[in-house]
Amino acid sequence: MRIALSVLAVYNMAPDMFMFRAMSIRQQNNKINAIYWAAQALVSVLAFPMG
In a domain, 4, yes or no: no
In a domain, 21, yes or no: yes
Can you say how many angstroms the Cα of residue 44 is from the centroid of all Cα atoms in its chain? 6
Q: Which domain holds residue 24?
A: 14-50
Domain count, the chain: 1
Q: According to the model, what pLDDT value does residue 33 have?
A: 95
CA angle at 11 for the pair 8 and 17, rounded to the nearest 5°: 135
Instruction: Write the CB contacts of 48 (distance below 8 Å, at least 6 apart in sequence).
Output: 11, 14, 15
In a domain, 39, yes or no: yes
Per-residue pLDDT of the chain in tens (51 residues, 90 and over written 9): 555 556 666 667 778 888 999 999 999 999 999 999 999 999 988 887 776
Alpha helices per DSSP H over 1-51: 2-27, 31-47
Q: According to the model, what pLDDT value does residue 9 have?
A: 65
In a domain, 8, yes or no: no
In a domain, 24, yes or no: yes
